[in-house]
Structure 1
């Protein structure tokens, strides 16, 4: 059974709302045969990444960059997973109080280095998430998970 790994740093109610929407989309009833594993960024390990077939990444934008927790995750898994995970699909969502451009650039740079392929456009949210933002995160989760349904 294909596995989707959701790696997230969820320090605020706004990030929590987006995370819950991503999980809800990824585990929707129409998504069949995909195992969804959720890991906080500080708890996710290289074996988690190696065991997964696709990834969803969630982070706040802190000082114009990804959270330290997500950066730590990437630092821990980059070289152990570099050759084994090339070509795997990923999606990302970023929440910020303002500009999230630097955080998106960091995710793009790191995932390009890993050789992962973007399975869906990233979802970016500034301020309190609106209904459309939550729906976009649901769609992100569903899209990345649905892409794995035939990966078994």
Structure 2
């Protein structure tokens, strides 16, 4: 069975809504043969990343950068996972109030270095998520999970 790892930093009600929509999409009953594992970014380990076949990354945009929690996950896992996770698909969702470009760029830089493949366009939300934003989050989760179906 394929494993999808959701690495998330969810410090606010807005991020919680987005996280729940991503999980809902990834666990849609029509998607078969994919185990979805959730890890808070501060608890993510190299073993978590190595055991996964694909990734969904959730972060806030903080001062024009990814959250410190997601950065910590990458700091801990980067070298132990570098050669073993190349070519794996990932998706990204970001919440910010302004200036999310730097957060997106910082995640792109790390994932490019790891050799991961962007499976879908990032979902970027500013302010309270709308119904359309949450639908895009659901679609992101479903898209990445469906790519892992056996």
Q: For residues 2-151 of structure 1, what are the structure 2 equivalents within 5 Å?
A: 2-150=2-150
Separation of aligned partners in 2, 1:136 and 1:66? 20
- What is the Cα deviation at residue 99 of structure 1? 1.6
Separation of aligned partners in 1, 2:87 and 2:42? 24
**How many equivalent pairs are there?**
150
RMSD of the TM alignment (CA)? 0.4
Separation of aligned partners in 1, 2:9 and 2:65? 13
Segments ≥4 residues shifted beyond 4 Å: none
What TM-score do you get using the length of structure 1 for normalisation? 0.98
Separation of aligned partners in 1, 2:67 and 2:117? 21
What TM-score do you get using the length of structure 2 for normalisation? 0.99
Secondary structure of the equivalent of 1:42?
Answer: helix
